[in-house]
Chains A and B, each alone.
Chain A
Amino acid sequence: MSILIDKATRVLVQGITGRTGRTQTKWMLNYGTNIVAGVTPGKGGEVVEGIPVFNTVEEAIAKTGAEASVFFIPPPAVKEAAIETIDAGIKLIVVVTEHIPVHDVMEIREYAGDSDAQIIGPTSPGVITVGQTKMGIMPGNMFTPGRIGVISRSGTLSYEISINLAMARLGQSTVVGIGADPVVFASVPELLRLFEKDKDTDLVVIIGEVGGIQEEKAAEFIDRWMTKPVVAYIAGLNAPEGKKMGHAGAIIQGDGRGTPQSKVAAFREVGVDVAKYPTDVVTLAQKHLNLNNK
C-alpha cells in the first residue's frame, strides 16, 4: 500500500466547512480520495461536496468508519481538535494548518506520544500515495506513480522535485511533507523507517532545508538501518544567517549543527549523495537505481 494511506483509507476532513476545507475537499475527491465524513463543531447535518458533516469526531467515526483525518482548522482550535481526534481513536492525522503556536504543538505531540496515533505536520502539504489517494493540498498533477518515496520539509519543493523525477520516468510511491516549523510531529527518521519496510519503494529522496537537526538525525538513522538508497537536497545553501535562538538554541543544537554545511557533511559521511540544485536529485536517483539493477 506504499506508506500511511491507500485508496481504501476512509478519510475524515476536519474544518470541512471553511473556505480552504471546502476547496481542498473538492480537489481531494477529484484525485480519488475516499472521503467519508467532515467535522465542524456546530455544523453537523450540513453536506459539503456530497460529504456529510458531523459535530464530533466520535460521531463521524461511528457513522462512517473514518480512520484517518486531515485538518483545515484555524490555529487557535487545533490543540483541542487534535486531542479530541486522538481520543476518538483516529490513527493518522495530517495537519495542514500553518502558524500553530509552538507550545500547542509540543502539547499535542506529548499527548500523541502516549497513544498510537501518527501525526504529520503542522504546516504540512499533506501525504499523497500517488495515483491512489491524497490527504492535503498537494496538486495532483505534479505527481506520477512510481517507486520513489519522498520526505520533504518543504511543500512546494516536494511538488517541484516530484514532477522533475516524473519527467525522467521516475514516479513516486508516497510523498510526505512533514513541515518545517520549529517543532514538527513526525520526524524524517520515522518516515525513513516506514519507507525502508515498504515493498513499493526502491529509493528515498529527502528534501531538507536549513535550520533544526532533522537531516543530521536522518543521517544517523540511515547509517544504522537503511538498506535502500537515499538521495537528498537541502534548500538554503545561500541563506543568510537568520534568527538565532539565543545561546540556549545554539547549545542544544550542538556545535555547528543546523547549518547547510553540517547537513551536507552528515549525509555525505553516510554515503548519501546531496544534490547541489533541486533537479540534480533526478540524476542522483538515476545513478543509484541503475546501480541497483546491475
Chain B
Amino acid sequence: MQYAIAIYVMKLYEFEAIELFHAEDIPVPAYALASNPEEAMGKAVEIGMPVVIKAQVFTGGRYLAGGVRVAKSPDEVISVTRQILELSIGGLPVDRVIIVRKVEVAQEYYLGITVDGYYGAPVAILSLEGGVSINRIAQERPEVLVSKRISISKGFTSSDARRMCREAGLRDKDFTELSNLICSLYNVFRKNDALLAEINPLVRTVDGNYMAVDAKVEIDDSSMYRHKDLDINIQDHISNSLERKAREIGVSYVELDGDIAIIASGAGLAMASMDIIARKMRPANFLETGGGITADLLYKVMDLVLQKSGIRALFINIYGGINPIHEGAKGVVKYMQEHNITIPVVAKALGNHQEETWEIFEQHGVHVVKEVSTEKGVELLAHLLGEEA
C-alpha cells in the first residue's frame, strides 16, 4: 500500500494499455471497444462467443462491482452490456466496455514492471502463482515472487528474463515465449515512461500459449510532454472535476470531506497543515502550489478551493523561497474583492518579501499570522470560527 499524495501518475484505461501491448507484440485476446449494447453485440459476433465484457474505468474493484462478466450469446451480450453501462464504479459512471474473446485458462501468473523508488531502478516481478490474488500471496508467501532490479542504461536482456523464469520454477522448454514477453513488457514500460506496466493475470492457455487478459499501465505525468504521440487526453483520466481543474491550472489538489480550505506551497507543508487542522476541525482539501506562484496562479487557486460547497474558512500557508509570495498575495486579495469573500481567511506567509506580503494581506482583511508556526495559524483560524484548535 503506497501512500503518496502528489498527483504524478496517469492511469490508462485498459483499452489504451492494450494498444501499447499490441505495439510490442504482447499477445492479447481479440477485443473491441463499445459504448452501447447493440454495438457490443455486433463486435461480440465478429470476435466469436463466448466473450468477456469489461467496464472501462480506471479504478480498481471492477470485478466486485459486477463490471466484468461473461456472455455466451448475442442476447446475453446485449443484456449484460446494458447492465454494466448502468453501473457506477467507485463513483465513476461507466460509458464504455470492451468485448474480449474468452480464453481457456490453464494457469494464471503475475507479471509486473515498476519503479523501485528507494533504489532508483526499474524492477520486474514474476510469480507463477497468484494471478488476481497476488497481494495475498505476496504477504503470505513472498518466496514465490521473483524480482529483479534492472539497469536502466543496459536495459532488460533476454538472459535476465530467462534467469527470472528459471528462478520462478519454470521448466526449460517454456522459457522462450515467456522471457520474450517479459522483455516486451519492459519495452512498454521504458518507451512510454511508465511507472507501472502490469499483466495480472498473465494467462497460460490450455494450448500452452501466453496471453495478457488484463493490461494496466500508469504513465509518469512529468513525461507527458514527450509523448504527444500517445493518443491520450489527460483530462479524461482524472475523475474528480475539481482535480481536473487543478491539473489545468498546474497545481496538485485532492478533495477531502471537510470544510476548511487549504492553500499551501509545498506538499509537506500542505500535509502538516492538514494534520494540524484535523485535530479539531476538518480539512476540505490538499492543495500544493508548487514553485510557480504568480498573482494569476493564486487567483485561480482561490477559485478552485472555494468552489467546493460549504467552505467555512480558508487557511493560506506559503513560503517565499522560490515563490514570489507578494505577487501571490495580490492574486488572493483580487479574488476576495471581486467575489466578495466573507469567510475568515488566515494567512501565514514567511520568507523572502514577507513584510510586503503581510501589508497586502492586511489591507484587504486577511488575518495575517506573523508567528512562525502553522499551529499558531490554525489556532487563530479556530478562534475566528469560535472553536478550539
Residues of A within 8 A of B (CB): 20, 23-24, 27, 75-76, 96, 98-103, 105-107, 109-111, 125, 137-139, 141-142, 152-157, 159-160, 163-164, 167, 180-185, 187, 207, 209-214, 217, 233, 235-253, 255-256, 258-260, 277-279
* Binding-face segment, B37-45, B77-85, B269-277: B269-277
Q: Please tell me if the beta carbons of B1 and A256 are within 8 angstroms of each other in the complex.
A: yes
Per the bound structure, the CA–CA distance linking A289 and B28 in Å amounts to 62
Residues of B within 8 A of A (CB): 1-9, 110, 112-118, 120-123, 125, 134-135, 138-139, 145, 147, 151-153, 190, 193, 195-196, 198, 200, 216, 218, 220, 222-223, 225-226, 254, 256, 264-269, 271-272, 274-276, 278, 283, 286, 290-291, 318-322, 324, 350-352, 354, 372-375
Q: Please tell me if the beta carbons of A101 and B193 are within 8 angstroms of each other in the complex.
A: yes
Per the bound structure, the CA–CA distance linking A251 and B137 in Å amounts to 10
Q: Please tell me if the beta carbons of B3 and A258 are within 8 angstroms of each other in the complex.
A: yes
Quick one: which of A100, A155, A277 contacts B276, CB cutoff 8 A? A277
Q: Please tell me if the beta carbons of A244 and B1 are within 8 angstroms of each other in the complex.
A: yes
* Binding site secondary structure of chain B: mixed
Per the bound structure, the CA–CA distance linking A212 and B120 in Å amounts to 11
CB B278 to nearest CB in A, in angstroms, measures: 4
Q: Please tell me if the beta carbons of A247 and B112 are within 8 angstroms of each other in the complex.
A: yes
Residues of A within 8 Å of B350, CB to CB, are 139, 142, 159-160, 163
Q: Please tell me if the beta carbons of A250 and B138 are within 8 angstroms of each other in the complex.
A: yes
Q: Please tell me if the beta carbons of A249 and B5 are within 8 angstroms of each other in the complex.
A: no
Q: Please tell me if the beta carbons of A102 and B220 are within 8 angstroms of each other in the complex.
A: yes
Supposing A212-B118, A251-B138 touch, asked if A238 and B278 sit within 8 A by C-beta, the answer is: yes
Q: Please tell me if the beta carbons of B372 and A248 are within 8 angstroms of each other in the complex.
A: no
Residues of A within 8 Å of B123, CB to CB, are 248, 252
Q: Please tell me if the beta carbons of A154 and B120 are within 8 angstroms of each other in the complex.
A: no
- Shortest Cβ-Cβ A-B pairs, 6 listed: A154-B268, A156-B266, A248-B112, A139-B351, A211-B4, A248-B114
Q: 19 pairs across A/B with beta carbons < 8 Å?
A: A106-B120, A137-B291, A152-B268, A155-B268, A156-B321, A160-B269, A163-B372, A235-B271, A235-B275, A236-B5, A236-B271, A238-B274, A238-B283, A246-B216, A248-B113, A248-B196, A251-B125, A259-B1, A278-B276
Per the bound structure, the CA–CA distance linking A260 and B322 in Å amounts to 28
CB A144 to nearest CB in B, in angstroms, measures: 12
Q: Please tell me if the beta carbons of A240 and B254 are within 8 angstroms of each other in the complex.
A: yes
Q: Please tell me if the beta carbons of B373 and A278 are within 8 angstroms of each other in the complex.
A: yes
Quick one: which of A75, A160, A182, A255 contacts B115, CB cutoff 8 A? A182
Q: Please tell me if the beta carbons of A183 and B268 are within 8 angstroms of each other in the complex.
A: no
Residues of B within 8 Å of A157, CB to CB, are 266, 268-269, 272
Q: Please tell me if the beta carbons of A213 and B118 are within 8 angstroms of each other in the complex.
A: yes
CB A232 to nearest CB in B, in angstroms, measures: 13
CB B168 to nearest CB in A, in angstroms, measures: 14
Q: Please tell me if the beta carbons of B193 and A180 are within 8 angstroms of each other in the complex.
A: no
Q: Please tell me if the beta carbons of A180 and B196 are within 8 angstroms of each other in the complex.
A: no
Supposing A103-B220, A212-B118, A241-B3 touch, asked if A159 and B351 sit within 8 A by C-beta, the answer is: yes
Q: Please tell me if the beta carbons of B200 and A247 are within 8 angstroms of each other in the complex.
A: yes
Residues of A within 8 Å of B4, CB to CB, are 182, 210-212, 242-243, 245
Q: Please tell me if the beta carbons of B272 and A277 are within 8 angstroms of each other in the complex.
A: yes
Per the bound structure, the CA–CA distance linking A182 and B116 in Å amounts to 9
CB B255 to nearest CB in A, in angstroms, measures: 9
Q: Please tell me if the beta carbons of A180 and B116 are within 8 angstroms of each other in the complex.
A: no
Q: Please tell me if the beta carbons of A137 and B321 are within 8 angstroms of each other in the complex.
A: yes
Q: Please tell me if the beta carbons of B1 and A102 are within 8 angstroms of each other in the complex.
A: no
Residues of B within 8 Å of A182, CB to CB, are 4, 8, 115, 117, 195
CB A242 to nearest CB in B, in angstroms, measures: 5
Q: Please tell me if the beta carbons of B218 and A75 are within 8 angstroms of each other in the complex.
A: no
Per the bound structure, the CA–CA distance linking A30 and B291 in Å amounts to 21
Supposing A167-B372, A247-B135 touch, asked if A240 and B268 sit within 8 A by C-beta, the answer is: no
